[in-house]
Structure 1
Amino acid sequence: MIERNLLATIFTCQAAAEGMMQRRNGRIVTISSTAAFIGRPNSAIYATAKAAAVHYTRCLATQLRPFCINVNSIAPGETRTARFLATREVDENRLMDGGTLDRVALIDEVSRVTEVFVGPLGDFVSGQVIRVDGGAQCWPA
């Protein structure tokens, strides 16, 4: 769990940053999870790895700032991926394509936030984490 969700992030960022540092320019976006911000009794190691990935992103943003490299993270909540659908039982009402925030996110909704970080809107944004969960962590469970 730690290898797949934390170390893979670290090693990938290190590999990508090398060329960016030489060019003195670049954007890195890590993918975390909303699990990083709440206690998860049945997946404590996963949540801990994702929390560490968030903190690593912030540290890396500070480290790479002198090289003009922006480093940010996206923390999706439940997202309608093939793996999610294969491993979870989800109420059909939560699989709608829109119209409510009480549903599972579409992949495009997560990727559009990535576009903000890598596009011109992200020119002066670094060290940030955006939750993409329809405000689920703002409401009581």
Structure 2
Amino acid sequence: MSRSVLVTGGNRGLGLAMARALAGAGDKVAITYRSGEPPQELVELGCLAVKCDITEPEQVEQAFKEVEDAHGRVEVLVANAGINRDTLLLRMSEEDFSTVLETNLVGTFRVVKRASKGMLRARTGRIVLISSVVGLAGSAGQANYAASKAALVGFGRSLSRELGSRGITCNVVAPGFIDTDMTRELTDEQRKVIMEKIPAARYGEPDEVAATVRFLASEEAAYITGAVIPVDGGLGMGH
């Protein structure tokens, strides 16, 4: 399809899998990363890696300029960048709460607003927001993270109503427990408790989330907007 695609937080985990899947479909993919070096795999795929902290408006603007200069206006945005600072409510500091919302929600607002300018002019575009099953079902010790991810549902559905008549879709993907570096840090006991709650009886693979994102970004999904798509093995059923 050779569209200009931007995946925020595309240097590892789910973001890396999404970037790989979209590049494999023939798109011109750019990713943002906040620290370290971009994976050699993405370099070999011809992806553009742009250093950007989405909590800094000036860096967001500069990142978009670099992507537009290299690939043209962003036609598909996957807002994936996010952080977590898990702790119980009474131990959670103001900074723990506000920092997570600043990245996961306000940072997403920044990149979506910037991308939508070009999409509105072209009267076409795809926006995919990466939420979480935690945002739907809640999780003890993750009040800040759950709040930020739940907010993406209201944000995305509002955008679908606001932008839908201009040929722009906005959907939300809510992954469950996926086999990434983050979930590998859990103890064996924690993994056992979680597994007992998953009807599919296994953790998901990053490529399974990426395939859903790739579909929502495709022409086949042109009549899907405002949807929340769980990729969680059934963990969040009923929410």
TM-score by length of 1: 0.86
Residues 32-73 of structure 1, C-alpha deviation per residue, up to 9 Å, x if partnerless? 001111132211111011010111000011111121100001
Q: Which amino acid aligns with 2:103?
A: R
Distance 1:7 1:122 in 2: 26
Distance 2:187 2:111 in 1: 32
Q: Is the 8 A contact 1:72 1:126 kept in 2?
A: yes
Q: Which amino acid aligns with 2:176?
A: G
Match of 2:186 in 1: 88
Percent identity between matched residues is 32
Unaligned runs of 5+ in 2: 1-99
Shift of 1:30: 0.5
Shift of 1:103: 1.3
Shift of 1:76: 0.2
Match of 1:5 in 2: 104
Match of 1:132 in 2: 231
Equivalent pairs, count: 133
Secondary structure (helix, strand or coil) at the match of 1:138 reads coil
Distance 2:226 2:237 in 1: 22
Q: Larger RCO: Structure 1 or Structure 2 (Cα < 8 Å, ≥ 6 residues apart)?
A: 1
Distance 2:112 2:180 in 1: 23
Match of 2:85 in 1: none
- 1:40 pairs with 2:131: no
Match of 1:51 in 2: 150
Instruction: Answer 1 or 2: which has greater helix percent.
Output: 1
Over aligned residue pairs, what C-alpha RMSD do you find? Answer: 2.0
The runs of at least 4 aligned residues of structure 1 exceeding 4 Å deviation read none
Shift of 1:107: 0.3
Distance 1:53 1:123 in 2: 20
Secondary structure (helix, strand or coil) at the match of 1:74 reads strand
